[in-house]
Structure 1
Amino acid sequence: MNLALFDFDGTLTTKDSLDEFLKQSVGIKKYLLNMFRFLPYFILWQTKLMNNGVAKEHLFRIFFKGMDEELFKNKAKEFSLTKLDSIINEERIKILREHQKNGDRVIIVSASMQCWLQPWCDKEGVELLCTHLKFEDGSFSGKFLTPNCHGIEKANRIKAHLNIEEYETVHAYGDSSGDKEMLALAHKSTLY
């Protein structure tokens, strides 16, 4: 059996799903206000004074801390099932489906959130390794439950989830430096 590992945002999509989710879930006015509030963390991240995962956790805290868990998950599911298909890269999804047709095990490995990726992955019949949010007492805590699934964490998750040696050929597809450790695990890697 062969294995196919796909990054999601920028690899299978034409736009970043996080940004699209933020806009849809709070509306453009609140989105712009919250992005202004996030600006200091964005600058720290861009100047390498704060790592990507910490900055992203601040972003989610600004946008969603204290939001009712059921409301958040409903917004995420609606986004997943009504919006994601509109930002899918048609040429690249064909590659994923070709792997499925060949009987390969297909896994999405993404820094995006389980809340909006899982319904889409279930619909597409693919596995998912990604970032999870922490909910406490029925609302979003402002924290991540897992490390941000980016860079070395992608490789760590893959190795924890399966034995890569069991696969005859491992394919990996990504589009950024955050995918390089995942791509390094593959026999055949594609960087878009």
Structure 2
Amino acid sequence: MNLALFDFDGTLSTKDSLDEFLRYSVGKKRYILNMLKFIPNFALWKLRIIDNSTAKERLFWIFFKDMDEALFRAKAKNFSLYRLDAIIDEARMKVLEQHQEGNSRVVIVSASMRCWLEPWCHKNGIELLSTELKFEDGKYSGKFLTPNCHGQEKARRIKEHLNLDEYETIYAYGDSSGDTQMLALAHKSIKY
């Protein structure tokens, strides 16, 4: 059996699902206001004073801190089932489907959130390794439950979840520096 590992954002999608979800979940006006609040954190990240994971967690804190969990999950599920298909790259999705038809184990490994990728993955029969949010007392805590599934964390999650020695050929598909460690695990890596 073969294994096919796919990044999601920029690899299977034509747009960043995080930005699309933020716009969808809070509306245009609040999106703009929240992004203005995020500018200092963005500057710290660009200056490499804070890392990608810290900046991303702060972004989620600004947008969703104390949001009702049921409401958040409903928004994420609706986005996943009714909006994600609109940003899928059809040619790359066909590559994924060819792996499925060829009896490969297919896993999406993404820094995006499980809450809006999982329903889409379930609908398409795809396994998922991704970042998860932490909810407490029925509200979003402002924190991540898991480390951001980016860079080295992608490789760590793959090795934790799978025995790579079981696969005859490992394929990996990615598009950014956050996929480098995942691509290095593959016999055949494709960088878009």
Place the TM-score, normalised by the shorter chain, in its bin: over 0.9
Structure 2 partner of 1:65: 65
Q: Report whether the alignment pairs 1:55 with 2:62.
A: no
SS of the aligned residue for 2:14 comes to coil
Structure 2 partner of 1:105: 105
Runs of 4+ in 1 over 2 A off after TM superposition: none
Unaligned 5+ residue runs, structure 1?
none
1:13 & 1:46 partners in 2: Cα distance? 24
How many residue pairs match? The answer is 192
User: Percent identity over the alignment?
Assistant: 69
Deviation per residue, 1:19-77 (Å, 9 max, x gap): 00000000000000000000011111112111000000000000000000000000000
2:41 & 2:172 partners in 1: Cα distance? 31
Deviation per residue, 1:101-122 (Å, 9 max, x gap): 0000000000000000000000
Structure 2 partner of 1:116: 116
Deviation per residue, 1:79-117 (Å, 9 max, x gap): 000100000001100000000000000000000000000
Structure 2 partner of 1:17: 17
SS of the aligned residue for 2:129 comes to strand
1:171 & 1:133 partners in 2: Cα distance? 28
Structure 1 partner of 2:40: 40
Q: TM-score when scaled to structure 2?
A: 1.00
1:162 & 1:20 partners in 2: Cα distance? 30
SS of the aligned residue for 2:49 comes to coil
CA displacement at 1:5 relative to structure 2: 0.1
SS of the aligned residue for 2:9 comes to coil
Q: TM-score when scaled to structure 1?
A: 1.00
1:173 & 1:149 partners in 2: Cα distance? 15
Unaligned 5+ residue runs, structure 2?
none
